Amino acid sequence: MIAPGYKVTLVLPARNEAGGIAKIVEQVRPFADEVLVVDGRSTDGTADAARAAGARVVVDGGKGKGDGIRTGLREAASEVVVFFDCDGSHHALDIPNLLAPISLGAADLVVASRALGGSDEYRMNFEHLLRQWGSDFATWLVNARWRAQLTDIQNGFRAGFREKLLGLRLNANHFDVEEEMVMKALKKGLRVAEVPSHEYERQWGASKLATSEGWRFLVRLAREMV
Ligand X SMILES: Nc1nc2c(ncn2[C@@H]2O[C@H](COP(=O)(O)OP(=O)(O)OP(=O)(O)O)[C@@H](O)[C@H]2O)c(=O)[nH]1
Contact flag: residue 64 with ligand X (CB under 6 A)? yes
Contact flag: residue 224 with Mg ion (CB under 5 A)? no
Question: CA angle, corner 96, sides to 202 and 164, nearest 5?
Answer: 90
First CA to last CA distance, the chain: 41
Bridge partners (DSSP) of residue 39 are 14, 59
User: From the list 18, 175, 180, 190, which residue makes contact with ligand X (rule: CB under 6 A)?
Assistant: 175
Q: How far is the CB of 212 from Mg ion (least distance, A)?
A: 16
Contact flag: residue 125 with ligand X (CB under 6 A)? no
Residue number with CB closer to ligand X (184 or 208): 208
Stretch that binds ligand X, among 62-70, 100-108, 142-150, 183-191 (CB under 6 A): 62-70
d(CA 20, CA 87) in angstroms, rounded, equals 7
Contact flag: residue 87 with Mg ion (CB under 5 A)? yes
In the list Mg ion, ligand X, none, the entry touching 64 (Cβ below 5 to 8 angstroms by class) is ligand X
Residue number with CB closer to ligand X (58 or 100): 58
CB under 8 Å to 202, separation ≥6 — which residues? 87, 88, 89, 121
Residue number with CB closer to ligand X (29 or 106): 29
Residue type, 206: A
How do the residues of the chain divide into helix, strand and coil, expressed in percent and rounded to 5? Answer: 45, 15, 40
CB 192 within 8 A of CB 186: yes
Phi, psi of 3 (to 5 degrees): -120, 95
In the list ligand X, Mg ion, none, the entry touching 121 (Cβ below 5 to 8 angstroms by class) is ligand X
Contact flag: residue 209 with ligand X (CB under 6 A)? yes
Residue number with CB closer to ligand X (22 or 106): 22
Residue number with CB closer to ligand X (202 or 216): 202
d(CA 67, CA 84) in angstroms, rounded, equals 15
Query: E strands, 74-154, where?
Result: 80-83, 109-113
Positions that interact with ligand X (CB under 6 A): 13-15, 17, 38-40, 60, 64-65, 68, 85-87, 89, 121, 156, 175, 202, 207-209
Binding site for Mg ion (CB under 5 A): 87, 89
